[in-house]
Amino acid sequence: MTTFIKDQSFGGERPLFAIHDTRLENVIITEGESGIKCCHDIEVDSCRFIGKYPLWHVDRSLITNSYFEVGSRSAIWYSNDMTMRHCIIDAPKFFREMHGLDIEDVDLRDADETFWRVSNLRVRNVTLHDGTYPFMFCTDIDVDGLRSDSKYVFQYVRNAVIRNAHIVTKDAFWETENVTIYDSHLDGEYLGWHSKNLRLVRCHIAGEQPLCYIDGLTLEDCTFDPASDRAFEDSSNICADIRGTITEIKNPVSGTIHADSIRLLTIDEHVRPPHDCTITPVPDTENISLPKL
């Protein structure tokens, strides 16, 4: 049997500790901490969260049409099998140490250190603003519709598929493994460094020195911004099909790279063996300090 709590306010320390099989409507969690803790099987609709740590150790929950104020920092940790729809979040450090999180139509206005160590994560039509390091150490991620201007997104993630994203960032997708990105705009310095098995399909890439120090890189029908220079440095096992012009390719290790036009190819004394990458067509300009193989 479901318990209903409606049109009430709760404050202080753990006011709704260990509730279960409960629906909250138009409830305010005021100043204090750990308003809803160690709970399971709850629904939250049209509620407002003011105090910190309001939803820790909550399993099997649905949160809809709710607002999290700035003071509700670190609101949702150690909670599994959670669905969130149509919410606005103004506080940082959300969603940590979780398994099974499904969010849709959510606006995170301070995404600092949000989504850390979350597995089985589904994201639909989500906006991230400000902050650093969202999605760090996440695994098994399915994203469709993401707009983000946060810095250092998707560091150390594993097993991710991302579609229809518009990301303006710095140092994104570092040390990732098994990540595929479709139909997205990726604008940030040092994209994808030190990753394994990174695949980009119909993506536009902007920012300095993209796609370096990668083992296993696939590009299909991708385009590059003119300011993106020194691409592919020290990357191996490349299979790249580039539409339009790429400004500069520098010291790729192995694989194949084809573009409609290549303005500059740089191969210098720092290229790693076997330095046998096949590159077509002939670049407009070459800066070669080693014999061609």
DSSP letter, residue 97: E
SS3 (DSSP) at 242: strand
* Range 214-229 average pLDDT: 97
Nearest alpha-carbon partner for 264 in 289, 237, 288: 288
Contact 44, 64 (CB under 8 A): yes
d(CA 58, CA 55): 6
Query: What is the pLDDT, as a whole number, of residue 89?
Result: 98
Distance CA(142)–CA(31), nearest Å, equals 35
Calculate mean pLDDT across residues 236-243: 98
Give residue-wise pLDDT tens across range 6-30: 999 999 999 999 999 999 999 999 9
pLDDT confidence bin for 234, thresholds 50/70/90: very high
Q: How far apart are the first and last CA of the chain?
A: 75
One-letter identity of residue 67: Y
Tell me how far apart the alpha carbons of residues 142 and 245 are, in angstroms, rounded to a whole number: 31
Strand partners, 263: none
Tens digit of each residue's pLDDT (9 = 90 or more) over 110-143: 999 999 999 999 999 999 999 999 999 999 999 9
For residue 61 the two structure tokens come to 């929950």
Mean pLDDT of 80-86: 98
CB atoms within 10 A of CB 260: 12
Q: What is the mean pLDDT of residues 50-55?
A: 96
What mean pLDDT value characterizes the chain? 96
| Per-residue pLDDT reduced to its tens digit, 157-210 | 999 999 999 999 999 999 999 999 999 999 999 999 999 999 999 999 999 999
Burial class (CB in 10 A: 0-12, 13-18, 19+), 136: buried
What is the spatial distance between Cα 82 and Cα 90, in angstroms, rounded to a whole number?
A: 19
* Bond from prior residue into 134 cis (ω within 30 degrees of 0): no
Residue 232 scores a pLDDT above 80: yes
Long-range interactions of 123-127: CB distance < 8 A, separation 24+: none
The CA distance from 103 to 94, in Å, is: 12
CA 96 – CA 187 distance, rounded (Å): 26
Give the per-residue pLDDT at 263.
95
The DSSP call for residue 271 is: P
**From CA 14, how far away is CA 32, in angstroms rounded?**
8
DSSP helix, strand, coil percent of the chain (3-state; round to 5): 0, 60, 40
Q: Using one digit for the tens of pLDDT, what is the confidence trace for 243-285?
A: 999 999 999 999 999 999 999 999 999 999 999 999 999 888 8
The CA distance from 104 to 220, in Å, is 28
